[in-house]
């Protein structure tokens, strides 16, 4: 039980670790003279713990936790230290242990654990690859933020797990966004981390709307401005990350919905200096097209381009100017024409060419459906998408359909 106490003391300290890493193998490989009670490394607030020690600690902690729960949560007060220690070790080894997280919420509510310290502890947990994918830890953070920050609205629908209406500081926003970025680097396409980011940015926009004349207003707008340039450069560094592209579109939509209010009025003061001002679907579309020109074999980019047409106000059915649609068809046809052709010897090049054609076909058939155009090459049902259709024929027949419609 001494191991759980030793680890628990570090994990539950008022200044928790900033990073946690599980090291492969057993302690002797890392710590030639390790003590049985302290078979881990803790330096400069980084905890490194060998896998075998984690396993031993987990079994010990399960035992302590189970006994404490059997004693009944009504006597939680008497067992606070052992509950705090055992739950922190359970979460270290098994971040999906929801009951351990629930118990810690009870300890926060009772004042035994400080909410800010708990935010630091979960940030450390989320620094690990395995932990960062669990929805429950992200929810735990939102729960803590709601508990510890002031509400500025009386109509917060807590049932929607929102952060809107909660008075988060500039520092809070920066901290949440950077924890998410780190988690998405360690665990690509991290679904729940991106959801958390969207929840935060919605909260940010609603805070900006509220604080029209407040001095912290411009600081919040700055965070939003940084977010717009951050996501653009993230996409350029992660061209297979459709989750990021979907997020960029959601962000653009959010800004569009609030464009009549204070966000834009603030921006008119210095439009040339910020990214926010020009962050819209037109810009995203140009962004998607330029990336597609360079990397036409990336499915994510094709769907990015689709997405930029789909949000309200820009949906393709409403594009009355047929030249945009024609331009899009020609763009796809050219991309497919300029795709590297296999020579028969280089199979990887041949595969690449096939993939580009597949995505181009899927794009055009999507376009045809959006326009309600009947295209001979696509007659029948959705099976066609997995067959190879000649992109040139498809594009030309789509163009003819458009001329007839004119």
Partner 1 sequence: MSASQLLIPLHVQYIKSLGENKDDLVYHLTAHLRMNAVYWGLTALCAMGHKDALDRDEMIEYVMSCWDEEAGGFGAHPDHDPHLLPTLSAIQILTIHDSQDKLNIPKVTKFILSLQQPSGVFAGDQWGEIDTRFLYSAVNALSLIGQLHLLDVEKTVGYIKKCKNFDGGFGAVAGAESHAAQVWVCTAALAILDRLDVIDQDTLAWWLAERQLPNGGFNGRPQKLEDVCYSYWVLSSLSILRKLSWIDSEKLIPFVLSAQDTENGGIADRPGDLADVFHTVFGIVGLSLLGYPGLVDIDPVYCMPADLVASKGLRKDWEALPRRNS
Binding interface with partner 1 (CB under 8 A): 55, 58-59, 62, 65-66, 69, 93-94, 96-99, 102, 105, 135-136, 139, 143, 157-161, 189, 191-192, 194-195, 198, 202, 240, 242-243, 246-247, 250, 298-300, 303, 306-307, 310-311, 315, 355, 362, 365-366, 369, 381-383, 385-386
Q: Which is nearer to partner 1, 98 or 256 (CB)?
A: 98
Query: Least Å distance between CB 97 and partner 1?
Result: 5
Query: Least Å distance between CB 213 and partner 1?
Result: 29
Q: Which is nearer to partner 1, 177 or 267 (CB)?
A: 177
Q: How far is residue 34 CA from its own chain's centroid? A: 39
Q: Which is nearer to partner 1, 248 or 276 (CB)?
A: 248
Query: Least Å distance between CB 245 and partner 1?
Result: 9
Query: Least Å distance between CB 341 and partner 1?
Result: 18
Q: Which of 235, 121, 226 is nearest to 178 (CA)?
A: 226
Q: Which is nearer to partner 1, 218 or 315 (CB)?
A: 315
Query: Least Å distance between CB 42 and partner 1?
Result: 23
Q: Which is nearer to partner 1, 161 or 226 (CB)?
A: 161
Q: Which is nearer to partner 1, 88 or 274 (CB)?
A: 88
Query: Least Å distance between CB 66 and partner 1?
Result: 5
């Amino acid at each position: 039980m001494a191991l759980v106490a030793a680890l628990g003391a570090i994990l539950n300290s008022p200044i928790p670790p900033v990073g946690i890493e599980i090291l492969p193998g057993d302690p002797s490989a890392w710590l030639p003279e390790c003590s049985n009670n302290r078979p881990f490394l803790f330096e400069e607030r980084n905890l490194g713990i060998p896998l075998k020690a984690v396993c031993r600690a987990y079994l010990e902690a399960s035992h302590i936790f189970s006994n404490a729960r059997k004693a009944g949560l009504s006597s939680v007060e008497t067992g606070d230290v052992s509950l705090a220690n055992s739950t922190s070790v359970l979460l270290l080894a098994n971040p999906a242990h929801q009951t351990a997280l629930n118990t810690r919420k009870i300890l926060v509510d009772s004042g035994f654990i400080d909410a800010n310290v708990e935010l630091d502890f979960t940030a450390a947990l989320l620094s690990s690859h395995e932990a960062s994918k669990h929805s429950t830890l992200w929810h735990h953070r939102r729960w803590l933020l709601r508990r510890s920050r002031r509400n500025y609205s009386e109509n917060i629908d807590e049932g929607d797990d929102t952060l809107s209406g909660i008075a988060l500081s500039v520092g809070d926003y920066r901290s949440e966004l950077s924890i998410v970025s780190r988690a998405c680097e360690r665990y690509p396409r991290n679904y729940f981390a991106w959801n958390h980011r969207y929840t935060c940015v919605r909260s940010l926009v609603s805070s900006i709307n509220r604080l029209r004349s407040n001095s912290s207003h411009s600081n919040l707008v700055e965070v939003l401005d940084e977010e717009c340039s951050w996501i653009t450069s993230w996409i350029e560094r992660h061209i297979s990350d459709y989750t990021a592209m979907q997020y960029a579109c959601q962000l653009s939509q959010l800004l569009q919905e609030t464009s009549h209010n204070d966000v834009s009025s603030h921006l008119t003061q210095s439009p040339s200096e910020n990214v926010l001002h020009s962050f819209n679907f037109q810009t995203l579309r140009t962004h998607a097209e330029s990336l597609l020109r360079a990397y036409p074999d990336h499915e994510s980019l094709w769907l990015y381009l689709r997405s930029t047409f789909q949000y309200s106000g820009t949906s393709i059915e409403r594009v009355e100017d047929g030249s945009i649609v024609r331009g899009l068809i020609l763009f796809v046809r050219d991309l497919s024409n300029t795709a590297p052709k296999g020579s028969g010897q280089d199979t990887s090049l041949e595969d690449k060419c096939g993939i580009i054609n597949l995505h181009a076909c899927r794009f055009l058939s999507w376009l045809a459906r959006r326009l309600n155009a009947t295209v001979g090459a696509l007659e029948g049902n959705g099976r066609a998408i997995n067959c190879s259709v000649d992109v040139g024929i498809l594009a030309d027949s789509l163009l003819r359909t458009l001329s007839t419609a004119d």
